[in-house]
Structure 1
Amino acid sequence: MASTGVLTSSERASGWRPDPVLWVRLAIIVGVLVLWQVVAMSGLLYQDVVPQLPAIVAALGRLLVNPELYRNLWVTLYETVLALVFGGVAGLFVGIVLGGSRFFGRAFEPYLYYLGPTPKIIFFPVMIMWFGTGGGSKIAMGAFSCFFPVALSVAVGMRAIPPILMRVGQSFRASPRQMVQKIYLPAMREPVVNGLRLGFGIALIGVLLAETKLSNQGLGFLVIQNYQRFDMPAMYALLIAIFVLSMGANAAITRLTSRSAASGAR
């Protein structure tokens, strides 16, 4: 403990030193921006296809003050959250069943590995026939995309639970619901969180793809609308907004789960 205090005081005396990883991340961002600007100014590509950074920044400013952005943002968030709920709950249930039963795991889990990498957009016509051309088909598309990473991650987490925890629950004659709440979920918190984080990203991709194909609202619709107008600065600005939205949602999921883990540890 004494040595820790000496290191801390010396670091404070020498001043604040940022993490080298932070410098690398900033260097990557700056390098990408510089490369983009160089390509845009070089004339190697059509200027409207790769617009210069000031044009994109101006389009981003116009986008942020446009009420249409927030109306469509709400639509995409609403559809993505519902897709995550439906796909995540179904994936959690299937993952627990497959991970907790060797028979069901050997019988059905290979189908998840076969269908998981399949591009889900090929099933969108089926979703339209089943759920119509409204928001139902987009939510179903996102839920179907989200289901596979959650189910596979939970199944792997189930097999990693120490057998001693299983025997403790059985010795107390816990019901299946109690086993899930008291044993399974706390013991495989990390696989569940990783599955939900990955599932959210894939659900968002599924919803955005569906919005680009058949929709008149949502962020995906705005992207394809700007593309059809050949308004490239606005399209790139919208892509930046979607990227920041994904990062923020991912960070929010991580923070919420870390807080729940800390409260559970107490």
Structure 2
Amino acid sequence: MSTASIPLTKSAPLSFETRVRSLKLAIVASLLLIWEAMARSGLLFEDVVPSIVVVVAALGGVLVDPVFYSNLAITAWEVGTAILVGGVTGLAVGFVLGNSRFLSRAYEPFLYYLGPTPKIIFFPLLIMWFGIGPGSKAALGALSSFFPIAIATAAAIRSVDPILLRVGASFRLSRWQTFYKIFLPAIRGPLTNGFRLGLGIAIIGTVLAETKLSNQGIGYLIIQTYTTFNMARMYALLLLLFAIAILLNAALSRLARRFGA
């Protein structure tokens, strides 16, 4: 039999999602290889860039340490309070500005001016108002998350199709019914993105405040390991904080998809 008569089969192309996951794994593997190469190169002090094996061992020690979980609970309370206060106020302010052209022209520029400002400069004021306990850290997180949520909400409100509002008016919907049945479904996608960004910034603001003046919380543990030059434990805490932020972001995305965003 000649080779020309043998049918040639083509392998099925990889799906888009498989290629994306493969690229993500390749990026993570490359970063780990670069890290391990730096640790073994001797270009930096060994304790500054410890081996991945040392970091993993420190990570295991952190995961079985009750002190970590007690401080994690403090940070979780601060971040939860921050995103609740910052989210509700940001949603309310964004809804008002998005519905009023006059108020938007008068006040919305202040959001864009103050939004990029590092909120840590307000921390001394927050300490005077809320004390040195968890309240001032939650306040800084709320202040940080307020701006992206308010800006995203205002922009989303203005993008609602006017036809939908006229339909609601024809059915004589109340303000609350208009918000719940027309505005909320229409702005769900942009609003979710605003809350995801606000959550990330709230975590940054809260942990940053804990590193400045605190005796509890994940930020306090991180700065404590830095001052004692326990770099492996510091990297382990940073990895855990990074993983927690990813999980929260993924949970928020899944919740949004579940409700049709």
Q: TM-score, normalised by structure 2?
A: 0.93
User: How far is the alpha carbon of 1:46 from its aligned partner?
Assistant: 1.2
Aligned to 1:53: 52
Specify the SS of the correspondent of 1:73.
helix
Distance 2:85 2:179 in 1: 18
Q: Does 1:215 align with 2:214?
A: yes
- How is 1:30-69 mapped onto 2 (pairs within 5 angstroms)? 30-69=29-68
Aligned to 2:157: 158
- How is 1:76-225 mapped onto 2 (pairs within 5 angstroms)? 76-225=75-224
Aligned length: 252
Per-residue displacement from partner, 1:103-162 (whole Å, max 9, x unpaired)? 111111110000000001011001001111111111110000000000000111011100
Per-residue displacement from partner, 1:183-215 (whole Å, max 9, x unpaired)? 111110001100111110000111101111111
Distance 1:204 1:190 in 2: 22
Distance 2:173 2:126 in 1: 40
Give the AA of the match of 1:176.
R
Distance 1:118 1:187 in 2: 30
Distance 2:254 2:157 in 1: 23
User: How far is the alpha carbon of 1:258 from its aligned partner?
Assistant: 1.3
Distance 2:14 2:202 in 1: 40
Q: Does 1:248 align with 2:247?
A: yes
Aligned to 2:27: 28
Distance 1:168 1:20 in 2: 44
User: How far is the alpha carbon of 1:14 from its aligned partner?
Assistant: 6.0
Per-residue displacement from partner, 1:58-102 (whole Å, max 9, x unpaired)? 100111111111111111111101100100000001111111111
Distance 2:13 2:93 in 1: 52
C-alpha RMSD of the superposition: 1.7
Per-residue displacement from partner, 1:210-238 (whole Å, max 9, x unpaired)? 11111111110100010011000000000
Aligned to 1:232: 231
User: How far is the alpha carbon of 1:175 from its aligned partner?
Assistant: 2.1
Give the AA of the match of 2:66.
P
User: How far is the alpha carbon of 1:16 from its aligned partner?
Assistant: 8.1
Specify the SS of the correspondent of 1:188.
helix
Give the AA of the match of 1:46.
F
User: How far is the alpha carbon of 1:169 from its aligned partner?
Assistant: 1.6
Distance 1:124 1:246 in 2: 23
Give the AA of the match of 2:101.
R
Stretches of structure 2 that go unaligned for 5 or more consecutive residues are 1-8
Flag the structure with larger Rg.
2
